[in-house]
Amino acid sequence: MELMKKFKDKAKGNKQTIVLPEGNEPRILQAAEKILQEGIADLIILGKEEEINKKVKELGINIKEARIINPVNSNLFAEFTDIYFELRKHKGIKREDAAKLMEDVLYFATMLVHTDRAAGLVAGSINATGDVLRPAFQVIKTRENVSVVSGAFIMDVPECELGEEGVLVFADCAVNPAPDKNQLAEIAVSTAQTTKALLDIDPVVALLSFSTKGSAAHELVDKVREATDIAKNMAPELEIDGELQADAALLTKIAKTKAPESKVAGRANVLVFPDLQAGNIGYKLVQRLAGAEAIGPILQGIAKPVNDLSRGCSVDDVVNMVAITAVQAI
């Protein structure tokens, strides 16, 4: 939890405005109280004010410092409708369609971020990932020279010297089932950038495989090897290498035997998995077997911070994700 304290302290030092669209969800409101009490972020909460106030009273909490907006009654409704219509009319969207979408809190929240009225948004406690991301893809879009959104986990492994004193970043563990070589390269570069921005450590990126430097021949190995070359060309300033087996990426002794020429092998603090199955399995094994704290998924590749909660999230999960989103915005 020391790592989360660092994120919270950084967020407090440069307070951002984060929008929480799911204002009718008790966990969101309870998290909002904690966020405001700790000074992690300023908050905009979306929903019908009378319904939110009723739930706040029932829960016995205080969120008076939050700004509550009902999209339908907001003086921003017409402006957001116009902006969205202009952005999407080439897709055949009519103005009345745009107006209908602005009644949706997820779309309205996305417009708050798009117009810089909020620095980021956090949702997903009662909405599916696709519903959270769809407005972001349509309005905010991906960062320049990035075509793929991915999900990273910060893994804080107790009593571990690997990575950065037990801290590693895993990706993609949340979004892309089967990235091609170009997408995998983008994921590697995006994860390196996330690592630097959030943890302020120099990323050392290993693209993982069941092969190390040609020890096995297979089209899946070829994909990782080619992705590594693409990533190196995309970001020549970064330390990136592959294909590496996990032990060769992490352990100096193994690296000397399996990949003696690699500057990354044995030193990696960023592990890029070849597909979602491997990434999701990998982070959950480390979480459960090593007792690691898994912070995420942190969405990367979107032009402005948008993060998706699990529908099984706890109040503390919401607080933590708001802190991370605020730091991303900084």
Q: How many CB atoms lie within 10 A of CB 67?
A: 14
What is the C-alpha to C-alpha distance for residues 159 and 319, in angstroms, rounded to an integer?
26
For residue 3, what pLDDT is reported? 85
Question: Rounded distance, CA 152 to CA 84, Å?
Answer: 29
Domain 150-294, classified CATH 3.40.50.10750, yes or no:
yes
**DSSP secondary structure, 49-61, as one string:** HHHHHHHHHHHT-
The H-or-E segment that residue 249 falls in is helix 246-250
Structure tokens at 125: 């406690």
pLDDT score recorded for residue 114:
97
Q: 295-316 in b/e burial notation, b at 16+ Cβ within 10 A? A: bbbbbbbbebbbbbbeeebebe
Residue-wise DSSP of 211-229: -STTSS--HHHHHHHHHHH
pLDDT (tens place) for every residue of the chain, 330 residues total: 588 888 999 999 999 999 999 999 999 999 999 999 999 999 999 999 999 999 999 999 999 999 999 999 999 999 999 999 999 989 989 999 999 999 999 999 999 999 999 999 999 999 988 899 999 999 999 988 788 999 999 999 999 999 999 999 999 998 899 999 999 999 999 999 999 989 989 999 999 999 999 899 999 999 999 999 999 999 999 999 989 999 999 999 999 999 999 999 999 999 999 999 999 999 999 999 999 988 888 999 999 999 999 888 899 999 999 999 999 998
> CA 318, 319, 321 angle in degrees (round to 5)?
65
**Which class does domain 2-141+304-329 fall in?**
alpha beta
Q: What is the dihedral of CA 168, 9, 65, 315, to 10 degrees?
A: 40
Q: How far is CA 239 from CA 27, 100, 187, 231, 324, in A?
A: 40, 47, 14, 10, 24
* Whole-number pLDDT of residue 21: 97
Q: What is the pLDDT of residue 1?
A: 55
pLDDT at residue number 297: 87
> CA 8 to CA 18: how far, in whole Å?
14
Q: Domain residues of the chain, as ranges? A: 2-141+304-329, 150-294
Between the two ends of the chain, the Cα-to-Cα distance in Å is: 21
